[in-house]
Amino acid sequence: MKIDFLETIKAPFFGPEGATVRKRSFRRVMLNAIAYPFSTGIVIYAGLMTFSMVLTNITGFLPQIAKDLYEGQLNTAGSIFLWLFAFFMGGFFAGWCSEREKLLKTRYLHLIPLLAVVLIYAAIAISGQKTENLHPVAFPSMILFTIGVLNAMVSLTTSSLIKASQMTGMVVELGVDVAELFHSEGEKHRLIRREAWLRIVVMCSFIGGAMMSVAIFPIIGTKVFYIPSGIVAGVMLHDLFRY
């Protein structure tokens, strides 16, 4: 049986009530599912090359905090706590602006966190022309803040179905989806299949962004941050003019 990929993923991802969601809502979901993971793929590899840190999520930091606290290295533990807090603040800032937008019935308040992301990436691209300008604690905190924002924004758009950078959970959930495909039918089967395709799109986008960063970073260094800055700015412009 021939499967139309676009038709498979085009149906909404929000449950039965999503059947009447407009086409522009679908376009927004797909734009975010592609643009944000692609951007974080670029940023995470560039962050690894610049700071020798995997700035994808905070899971790996927790054992390091425990080790530093046990050994009495409070300064190092404090730096890691700052990174955790920056990641938290990114999610909090994006969620707060989105909820205030609903409460105040405004249209563009959710763009403020994205503007912060654009400015931070541009600042890193500019400051990074000289490596000594990149503070080893402050700049990773800024990157983690932006990743927290992007994770929150794509999560809010897709009702927590996907994240921009957390591929570990994405792979596990894809495995669960594939298993459920063998034990479901009808509307449930179609919904699970759509979710599985969306997760694949996100992972491919993330890998594509990382591959671009691998190819370009040795040539232009931290100027590569201009690319995710421009991508997020493009998402903002799309939201500004989509009505």
- Each domain of the chain, given as residue ranges in start order, spans 21-161+209-241
123 Cβ neighbours under 8 A, 6+ residues apart: 142
Do the Cβ atoms of 229 and 146 come closer than 8 Å? no
Q: What is the pLDDT along the chain (243 residues), one digit of tens a residue?
A: 444 444 444 444 444 444 433 455 666 777 788 888 899 899 988 888 887 777 666 666 777 778 778 787 777 778 778 888 888 999 999 999 988 888 888 878 888 999 999 999 998 888 865 555 667 778 888 888 998 898 888 888 766 666 777 777 778 888 888 898 888 788 888 888 888 888 888 889 989 999 999 999 999 888 999 999 999 999 888 888 765
Q: What pTM, to 2 d.p., does this model score? A: 0.79
Instruction: Judge: domain 21-161+209-241, CATH 1.20.1250.
Output: yes
Phi and psi for 230 in degrees, rounded to 5? -70, -35
